[in-house]
Chains A and B, each alone.
Chain A
Amino acid sequence: RKEVEQDPGPFNVPEGATVAFNCTYSNSASQSFFWYRQDCRKEPKLLMSVYSSGNEDGRFTAQLNRASQYISLLIRDSKLSDSATYLCVVNILIYNQGGKLIFGQGTELSVKP
């Protein structure tokens, strides 16, 4: 079983739609959580961190359920520029050695006019 699992998609949605991505993780030592965005043929870049209480950044809302080991990302009023691959990321803490970031395989989003 992969440590971080995502629905690969693709999700094809019209502009203005609301779209939700889900992610599950298996390692209970996971300490912190993120969503990264990767554009075609580019490197991944941090989109937002995910906090236990849930957090929002403009049109983006992230949620974390530690009991279920589940993370979500909601995009409201989607734009053409949101088309990308969204990567769910967990930081697994290694005692006294920082942590290592483990990436899900990514969910591809395509927003159409």
Chain B
Amino acid sequence: DAGVIQSPRHEVTEMGQEVTLRCKPISGHDYLFWYRQTMMRGLELLIYFNNNVPIDDSGMPEDRFSAKMPNASFSTLKIQPSEPRDSAVYFCASRPLSGNTIYFGEGSWLTVV
């Protein structure tokens, strides 16, 4: 079975550039989560969706960050413009309607120089 699929796996970009991270959740899962992980702050919830609708975006750091889920099988997290402090691992995860276990993708490792 395919798990949560993220792309790109690794990205190095220059400060000021736009970054788009992509996620395909597990088919049939109703919830999709975007997390960011750094050594200093650990794993932080940025935003989550239920049936493609954003439910809680209180973790989104600032207006430079935006997330969309145009359909049940695809979501994007965009950073524009990117800054060095955005360097982190960004995880996408999904969960079915029933049950509390969430399944993570392998992460997108972002470095902004």
Chain A interface residues toward B at CB < 8 A: 32, 34, 42-46, 49, 87, 91, 94, 97-106
Contact = CB atoms under 8 A, between A and B. Distances in A.
Interface residues of B, number: 23
A98 B101 CA distance: 12
Interface of B: 30-31, 33, 35, 41-45, 48, 50, 55-56, 91, 95, 97, 100-102, 104-107
12 contacts: A32-B100, A34-B100, A43-B105, A44-B91, A94-B55, A98-B97, A99-B100, A101-B33, A103-B35, A103-B45, A106-B42, A106-B43
A98 B97 CA distance: 8
B100 A91 contact: yes
Contact of B45 (A32, A43, A44, A101): A101
Given A43-B91, A43-B105, A101-B100, 15 more contacts: A34-B100, A34-B101, A44-B104, A94-B55, A97-B55, A98-B97, A100-B45, A100-B48, A103-B35, A103-B43, A103-B45, A104-B42, A105-B42, A105-B43, A106-B42
A87 B99 CA distance: 19
Describe B's contact surface by its main secondary structure.
strand
Given A91-B100, A103-B42, A103-B43, A98 B106 contact: no
Nearest to A105: B42
A11 to B, nearest CB: 17
